[in-house]
């Protein structure tokens, strides 16, 4: 009889450090094998930003450039996010940026590595890292960029197009987060970059910046003090 292979880990949970601090979290995440995505990616890309950031933004997963460089949002989508934040009055250097999934998922297309959306199971498997980041950072506001991030927090029934730009409260979360942060969802910056029509891109950029302005307004309000 063939010897059974060891079953792959079902989530990142078993890779979490026993003592939760930023350096131990970062070191542990680098060795995560909580789902299959580590196999084809270069490295784990954990979130980054000031430890005192009041706002956390969650994207989908590192892209091609993020995978090579090891930092979140350093590619084209990050560039668009920077411009939208500037327009909304949010300073990127004051934001903790992370992703729902910490490894780049891709398929070969010609000589390029083509982005693939993570599955629901992969998003679920990676959630312990997101929770640990949230626990350490204790942000006042969490912004979900796009459907994968929104799914990670609100579950699969959540519709970004219907709920975008509104402040949401934690009672909407199927699984509570370790902190009582306000929540806001909007589209993913890459979805704007992909639009073929220039006028549409401009319109959608303005809507995206308007959503982020709600985040800036919340942070400036007494509710966030």
Enumerate binding residues for ligand SF4 (CB under 6 A): 12, 32-35, 37-38, 44, 101-103, 122, 125-126, 129
For residue 144, the surrounding DSSP H or E stretch is: strand 141-145
As given in the structure block, the two tokens for residue 9 are 């880990």
**Rounded to whole angstroms, how far apart are CA atoms 41 and 150?**
23
Q: Pick the closer one to ligand SF4 by CB: 60 or 211.
A: 60
Which residue from 16, 32, 73, 133 is in contact with ligand URA, where contact means CB under 6 A? 73
User: Please, what is the minimum distance in Å from the beta carbon of residue 158 to ligand URA?
Assistant: 17
59 lines the binding site for ligand URA (CB under 6 A): yes
144 lines the binding site for ligand URA (CB under 6 A): no
Q: Using the rule CB under 6 A, give the single segment among 8-16, 54-62, 164-172, 204-212 that binds ligand URA.
A: 54-62
63 lines the binding site for ligand URA (CB under 6 A): yes
**Is 123 in contact with 12 (CB distance < 8 Å)?**
no
Interaction partner, residue 63 (ligand URA, ligand SF4, none; CB < 5-8 Å by kind): ligand URA
As given in the structure block, the two tokens for residue 160 are 């970004």
Instruction: List the x/- string, 83-102, binding to ligand URA by CB under 6 A.
Output: ----------------x---
| CB neighbours of residue 138 within 10 Å | 15
Instruction: List the x/- string, 184-213, binding to ligand URA by CB under 6 A.
Output: ------x-----------------------
Q: Pick the closer one to ligand SF4 by CB: 62 or 139.
A: 62
Q: Helix or strand or coil: residue 202?
A: helix
Instruction: Give the Å distances, CA to CA, from 53 to 101, 140, 183.
Output: 20, 9, 15
Which residues are bridge partners to 183 per DSSP? 142, 168
Q: Is the dihedral of CA 207, 211, 214, 219 positive or negative?
A: negative
User: Please, what is the minimum distance in Å from the beta carbon of residue 20 to ligand URA?
Assistant: 23
Q: Is the dihedral of CA 156, 148, 105, 117 positive or negative?
A: positive
Q: Pick the closer one to ligand SF4 by CB: 129 or 208.
A: 129
Q: Pick the closer one to ligand URA by CB: 21 or 118.
A: 118
49 lines the binding site for ligand URA (CB under 6 A): no
| CB neighbours of residue 194 within 10 Å | 10
Q: What does the angle CA 123 – CA 33 – CA 74 come to, to the nearest 5 degrees? A: 60
Pairing state between β 167-168 and 141-145: unpaired
Q: Which residues bind ligand URA (CB under 6 A)?
A: 59-63, 66, 72-73, 75, 77-78, 99, 190
């Amino acid at each position: 009889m063939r010897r059974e292979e060891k079953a792959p880990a079902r989530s990142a949970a078993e890779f979490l450090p026993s003592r939760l601090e930023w350096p131990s979290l970062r070191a542990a995440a680098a060795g995560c094998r909580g789902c299959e995505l580590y196999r084809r990616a270069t490295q784990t890309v954990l979130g980054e930003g000031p430890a005192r950031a009041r706002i956390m933004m969650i994207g989908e997963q590192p892209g091609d450039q993020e995978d090579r460089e090891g930092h979140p949002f350093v590619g084209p989508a990050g560039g668009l996010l920077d411009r939208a934040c500037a327009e909304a009055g949010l300073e990127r250097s004051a934001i903790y940026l992370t992703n729902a999934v910490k490894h780049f998922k891709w398929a070969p297309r010609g000589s390029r590595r083509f982005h693939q959306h993570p599955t629901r199971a992969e998003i679920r498997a990676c959630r312990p890292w997101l929770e640990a980041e949230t626990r350490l950072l204790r942000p006042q506001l969490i912004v979900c960029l796009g459907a994968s991030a929104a799914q990670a927090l609100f579950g699969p029934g959540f519709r970004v197009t219907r709920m975008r730009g509104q402040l949401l409260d934690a009672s909407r979360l199927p699984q509570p987060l370790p902190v009582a942060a306000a929540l806001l969802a909007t589209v993913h910056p890459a979805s704007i970059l992909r639009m073929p029509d220039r006028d549409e891109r401009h319109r959608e950029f303005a809507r995206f910046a308007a959503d982020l302005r709600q985040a800036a307004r919340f942070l400036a309000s007494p509710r966030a003090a």
